[in-house]
Each structure stands twice: as structure tokens, then as C-alpha cells.
Structure 1
Amino acid sequence: MICLVTEPEIPTHRTKSELALRVLRERIRSGQLEVGYRLQVDELAAELGMSPTPIREALRLLQADRLVHYEPHRGVVVARHSPERLSDVYAMRMALEPLATRLAIERMTDDQRGELQTIHESFLAAGRAGRGKRMAQLNSAWHLAIYEAAGSDMLRDFTARLWDVFPWRTNWAVEQRSPDSMREHSEVMAAVLAGDAQAGADAMLAHIQAGSASEQPELGEPRT
């Protein structure tokens, strides 16, 4: 099951560094922390109610994912993704996510299909209400629910990794992307409900390609 939460809570089985990583990754991914924002260890430690040590560990992991970087005289700041990195992530998503969608449609249970439909309906409602942040949360939950339903731990882990490093704030900032995404999600859902694995894979590929095309100014010219 995909848990839909609006604010991170402290699960008893997680370490403080894992909690800090989860909170900061979500804030960067949603755009709450913008490119160039300075991440100050002491302030974050006070806000999250922990010592500086787990904050530093979380920042180290975010730096390994290239979501933050160190700047002289400023410290750790939210990084801007290069066009090459964005292009690479999109290429991998186009390869993996249609496959995951095909497998999910072939393998998902009735409960998983119902959960996916519930998330989708909430996503559409958030879109109609103009709740961009909520749309972003539900978008993530919807995609990850599909990949969970594929029944492949390796494929799920690979796709989840791509979602961890992708700067989703760029996608949701693109004008008209939200209504387009609502329509594209609905096309995938139609295939899910019809049990048409090929149509679902095709619709997911078209969805990712449309996201890539909408960000061409961010991505820059294709590499040769």
C-alpha cells in the first residue's frame, strides 16, 4: 500500500538521519526549497528536533544524489540539475516505466486496482481545485502504486531511485502541465481498468515523453 501523507511523521523504525533525508528530499522535490536555497544545519536541526549529526548525514546523502552541492562561502545549497542529467533521467524513465506499467496491469490485484483508482480520483480533484502541491504528492503516490503492483522488486527499486533524484519542481512549474498530466493519467487509468497492458504501456510512455517535451527549455538541445 502507498501511504498518502501531507506531513512527514517519525516512524519508530526509522533513524533520525533517515527522517531528515525524507523531509529534505520531499521539500526539494516539491519545490518548497528552491534552487540556490542555503541549507543551514543548525536551523534544520532545531526545526526537526534533532542534533546536527543526522542533518549532516542527510545532506551528505543528498549531495551524493546531486540534489544539493557545496558552494564556497555559502555552504550546502539546493542544486540545479544539468540538462544532461535531466535528459538521462527521462531516457531511463522512458525505458523502465512503460515496462513496469505493462507488468502492473497484467499482475495487479483487484485491491491494488481499486487503490490506484482512488488515488487517481483524488489527483483529478486536486487538479480541479488548483492544489498544485497536493497534485504533486498524489502524482508520486499514483506512479509508485503502479510500480509496486508490477510485482518486481528490482524494477520497483530502479524506478523509485529515478523518482528520488528527479527534480519534480521543474515539471510542475511548466505552464499547462497540470491539466495535461490529468488527461494523460486518465488515459493510463482507462487501460488499467480495461486490463489492456499494451495500451497502458503506450500511454505511460506518451505521458513521460510529454513531460520531457514540456521541459525542453530546461533540458536544452539534444546531445549528439
Structure 2
Amino acid sequence: MTVPVLAGRSKTQYAYEVLRDRIVGGRYGPGSRLVFDRIARELGVSPVPVREAVRRLQAEGWVVFEPNVGAQVADFAQDEYRHTMEALALLEGHAVATARLTNAILDRAELLNAMMRETLAVFDPLGFTRLNREFHLLLCDRSPNPRLRDLITKEWARLDLSRRSTFSLVPGRARESVEEHDELLRLLRAGAPAEVVERFARDHKLNTLRAVDSKSAAPLPGESTP
């Protein structure tokens, strides 16, 4: 049974969106082979747009090509998470510090942060993560440097590749993150020096990484600490 092609989208874009959703959703787990002909039949397209979509996914880090195997869904190790968060700390720090932010954009960012705060009562880590991503990209997308914006978008895609929510692992970090967003917005509205904004935005991202590292290093129940 084929999946109908969505109107208004190219076949390549359609194949890309379907494959990416399946990877993020876990239907195609790490190491899963992507057989072009089989996927093409399922989607009701030729193998060409599927191949183009997979090449795009490869460029974004979702797919790897292994000799004698072909296209496979990439794995995302803890080291990759650390490297991605460290890169985003540097990239986002500079992007936010140099962004051209209007009052309307800051108002929207405050609304998103308020929505994140509302999720804390009955915590939804995936919903919180979606809002958090929107908050960060809203501010970074106003950077005047298109290369920087592109790098940030790609690094966020790598976080998606982990197929998990950081805030599922460290839910206590969510409230701290909201409070840090408040302070970041206060600095931006006050016209704080760029270096102050950059340092705060960088440390905000690294604080999340430290929380994850601390959780990962914690002993399992029943284990003794040295």
C-alpha cells in the first residue's frame, strides 16, 4: 500500500519529510537500512527522489553510507551530544549577541517562555523541548550572518537525531532554563553589551550540558560511590 504524495510539495521534499519523521519517531532506528526501491514503492514515487532525499539526510547527519551495506540510519552517541551542545553554545552565543531583535520578536520570545513555564505544572518534556527549540531559533534567526544561521539549524537537527528529549533525562533543568531565558530577555531589552549577552547565552547552553553530564555520571541505584 502506497502513501499518497502530499499536494504542493515536490516528490523529493515529500520523501525527505517522510523519512525524517520516521527516523525521529523511531520507526527507522539506528543502523536501519534504507532500501531505495522499497521506500519508493511505498511512497508511490520513483527511486530518484528517494535517493535525493537520502543524500540530503546524509548531509544533515541523519544517514550514513557504509561500504557493502548502503544507506543506514546514523547512531547518535553521548560524545556527539556533547560536541553538538558545545558547538551550539558558541554559535548561539554569537548569534544572539549580534541579532537584530525588535520588540515584537522579544515579545514573541517572552510568550514562548511563558508557555514553557506553563508546562512545568504537569511536565511534558517533549512539548517543552519543542517550545525551547522555537525560542532559541527565533532569536538566532535574526543574526545578520546567514552562514551562522545555517550552522545553528544543522546543529539543532543533530540534537533531533538523538531521538530523545534532554528534559526527559534532566527534568529539573527545565525550570532553571526558563529562569535563564527570563534573564537573557532582560539583558536584551536593557541593551546590555554584546559580550555580556554572548557570555550569558553561551553559559545557558553549557548549563544544560553540565546537567546532563551530572546525570550521566550519577551512580545507579544500589551502586556505591568511590
TM-score of the two chains, using structure 1 as the length reference = 0.70
What is aligned with 1:144? 137
The CA distance in 1 between the partners of 2:210 and 2:144, in whole Å, is: 30
Partner residue of 2:152?
Answer: 159
Match of 2:199 among 198, 202, 219: 202
Match of 1:3 in 2: none
> Would you say 1:21 and 2:16 are equivalent positions?
yes
The one of 68, 75, 84 aligned to 1:80: 75
- Residue pair 2:167, 2:173 contacting (<8 A) in 1 also: no
User: What's the offset of the Cα at 1:98?
Assistant: 0.9
Q: Select the residue among 61, 64, 77 that pairs with 2:59.
A: 64
Find out whether 1:115 has 2:108 as its counterpart.
yes
* CA offsets 1:96-153 (integer angstroms, 9 cap, x no match): 111112223xx31111112212222223334443333322322221111011123432
Contact 1:31–1:168, Cα closer than 8 Å, also in 2: no
RMSD value, Cα: 3.6
Deviations 1:61-93 (A, max 9, x none): 222333223468876432113555444333322
Does 1:91 pair with 2:86?
yes
SS of the aligned residue for 1:149 comes to: coil
Match of 1:175 among 166, 169, 172: 169
The number of aligned residues is 208
Shift of 1:40: 4.9
Aligned pair partner of 1:100 in 95, 98, 102 = 95
1:192 CA drift (Å):
1.1
Q: Which structure has the larger Rg over C-alpha atoms? A: 2
Unpaired runs of at least 5, structure 1: 1-8
What does 1:124-135 correspond to in 2, within 5 Å?
A: 124-135=117-128
Q: Secondary structure at the match of 2:61?
A: coil
For residues 82 and 58 of structure 1, the distance between their equivalents in structure 2, rounded to whole angstroms, comes to 24
- Are the equivalent residues in 1 in contact too, given 2:117–2:178 (CA < 8 A)? no
- 1:210-221 residue pairs with structure 2 within 5 A? 210-216=207-213
SS at match of 1:81: coil
Task: Please say if residues 185 and 207 of structure 1, whose CA atoms lie closer than 8 Å, have aligned partners that are also in contact.
Answer: no
Describe the shift of the 1:153–1:82 C-alpha distance in structure 2 as closer, same or farther (beyond 3 A).
Answer: same
What displacement does 1:200 show? 4.2
Give the equivalent residue in structure 1 for 2:30.
35
1:160-201 Cα offsets, whole Å, 9 max, x none, are 12222333435537522x441342243123331452545543
AA matched with 1:78: V
Q: Which runs of 5+ in 2 are unaligned?
A: 218-226
* CA distance in 2: counterparts of 1:33 and 1:86, whole angstroms: 20
- Judge conservation of contact 1:30–1:133 (CA < 8 Å) in 2: no
- Percent identical among aligned pairs is 25
Code of the residue aligned with 2:95 in structure 1: it is: A
**Aligned AA (2:202):** L
Cα distance change on mapping 1:150 and 1:65 into 2, 3 Å: closer
